Structure 1
Amino acid sequence: MKTKTKKILTILLLLAIASSVTIFALVTMQSPVRQAITQSELDDLIAASGGTRLTTNPGPDESPVWSPDGTKIFFETRPDVGSGRYSSECYIAVMNADGSDVTRLANGTNPVLHSGKVYFEYYDPVYTELLVTEVMDLDGGNKKKLLSLNERTHLFQAISPDRTKVCYCTYYGTGSYLVWWKNGTVTKEKGNWNIDGDKYNDARQSGEMLMAGPETHSDIWVMNLDESNKVKLASGIESSNCPPRPEWSPDGKKIFFINPVISPETRIENIDIWVMDANGGNKKQLTDRPGYDAGPEFSPDGTKITYLSENQDNFDIWMMNPDGSGKERLTESPGADAGFEWNPDGRRVAYISRSSNGYLYKTEHDFEDKSEIWVMDIDGSDKELLLSIPYPYGVIGGIEWSPDGSKMVFGFHPNYGNDDIYVLDVPAASAIAGVVSE
């Protein structure tokens, strides 16, 4: 689902940039250091910028989305069962826009609102590899199962806008492994990394080798929600370092995906955005800059796409037309800009900016390194800073505009406790056209 894809991609990209290593080196990161900072200090800091804490659950609360009328917020919540442990149960809950009247609606995660319905996922309690997608009314009634697919064989499932088809990926090995080097090149060797890995010990210890792992490829498939009419749309996509993560265009006529390519001549890996028709025809490469281009996000009217593009070890936000023309760079900050979200009328873009010389999971945190929410016009002008939080407090998660553009709801990942949800007032100049504050 869209929310899940954006959340995972944003976290991986930001942490990858901040640590100056490739994405799959995340497993080596250290646990966060607890700072002598209280919850009230954080709340006061956010309140000074017009923000309010909405959730107080001892367990984590995240993935907030607005109801169509802006009076409710749906989110996922997980109970705290004591001793610093969280329950394996995750719930879809709803609350009023001021944080009151919290109600659990269903077991599940990753809520997405579409046409007045709530779509969500959960793992089958018996067959734990099955990822189940259900839909329900806004009050939790009329639950209906849409999909039940093995996530190991049906990865990155994306339901079409008309809710009749699902696009997904399959993974398979090639019998080779890849080695990523500090100089930016990638080498390919025939064999099994688990057997051959010891011969790279010196390179690993010297820092010349960044990481290594099995070479994997992906195919992209589409089928009806009842699992009929299965069609392969693309095959043999290099996926060792970045999966394709297919996404539908708003009109359901196109499918966008990520395609990593390792140059046979230079052995340097580029990750680009591609598009194809919903039937697999007319495949076209949309980006071709060196490095990583990923995370395409459509404007509300479907005429523009914002995306992340690597620039000298950090990510900036770019914009292009759906056919790849008209590319414009919107941000040029020294940090990592990501987590972007179009406002409802498509005139402004909000985004999260984080320092590139520090990250959450490290031994020390510098108050000069910050996590911030900015807004800008769609041509990159009139940038406004709405919220700035130093790293010792934690980092800002995903953001979402309210339907009238007057507020943003966001998740916050504190460096000392559980995830919480906050709401932030947006100045009238940054809100949707026609909304005027007194």
Structure 2
Amino acid sequence: MSSSSRATAPLPTDLLGLRARFDEEETAIRDAVRKYVEDRITPNAGDWFEEGVFPEDIIPELGEMGLLGMHLDGYGCAGTNATSYGLACLELEAGDSGLRSFVSVQGSLAMFPIWKYGSEEQKERWLPDMAAGKAVGCFGLTEPDHGSDPANMSTRAKRDGSDWVINGAKMWITNGPIADVAIVWANTDEEGVLGFVVPTDTPGFTANEIKHKASLRMSKTGELVFDNMRLPQDAVLPNVRGLKGPLSCLSEARFGILFGAIGAGRSCFETALDYSKSRVQFGQPIGGFQLTQQKLVQMAMDLAKGELLAQHLGRLKDSDTGLAPEQVSFGKLNNVRVAIDAARTARTILGGNGISHEYPIMRHAANLESVLTYEGTEEVHTLILGQLLTGQAAFK
């Protein structure tokens, strides 16, 4: 190439030319999910958020598209690579964090433990229906008094003959009120933490919907209560013991978040960019003012770097090297921060209009405040990385 040659100018929403780095299948999945979100979700998301509604009729649609448990093999799952799953999460969260949360919980927190640690009978019983959207799952780990400290969970499972009897409660459980099956983690006296596959029609199981949320309103969130809930031995996930089980599931879900958050941030940026070209003040579009351009450039740069990070971590997860939990913490911590900053900055460009549900920005901003703390708070992910750097555990 001669020194006088000049590369084609990048797209405003793809400054680093990342879209060209995906293969044909990854690109097709990304484009299909984006079109679905633009056609089916975006026109309605503001109303669903305002009304506090999760549109359950989309669940079989998500199953038909192959998005539920898409990164798992067999049992009706699509068997895509991790990067494709991440790109789907990015496009879903560009619609709404509640939508991506549903898919993340279904695939990474409910289906993954059955697929990874379950018996063949458990897999055959649940995974095909969950992949098709005919059955909904949830993940019961967080408790009213134990969020970031699952090792001290209060939910207890005790043997009674050949059965287990569980008492306790879980809090802030996505999909809980609409779930057909719950993956419930409980402490035991002899075997440490065990996971149980619990049909939600089991006597002693109750799911109470949490109302009056100011965030993730397009998501069903619940409290799970177990009152002498009796389960047979074959309800136990047989191939895992201890906190390794739930923590490995959280790492799977966090991977989706580090992609998804960039989608929410991108939606805010694109909205602000379009608005800056049409909003006229002092006789010209505000996009022509230096301070507005500075805001847009900073958002574009930060989001591009976040998407590059997500792509890199996706490639690691798909490689023989694999993806370490600390690297997932790096991605989740960085990219949620980037997305929140984009939402807040984009809101300032729209001024008063930024708080209207006519635009998605305030909805994304509210949702991202929850994304910042669920599945590992900023503090937890900071200390995970701090322990890696120093060799010292600072959790206590």
**TM tier relative to shorter chain:** under 0.3
More helix by share: 2
Instruction: Using CA pairs under 8 Å that are at least 6 residues apart, name the structure with larger relative contact order, 1 or 2.
Output: 2
TM-score (norm 1): 0.24
More strand by share: 1
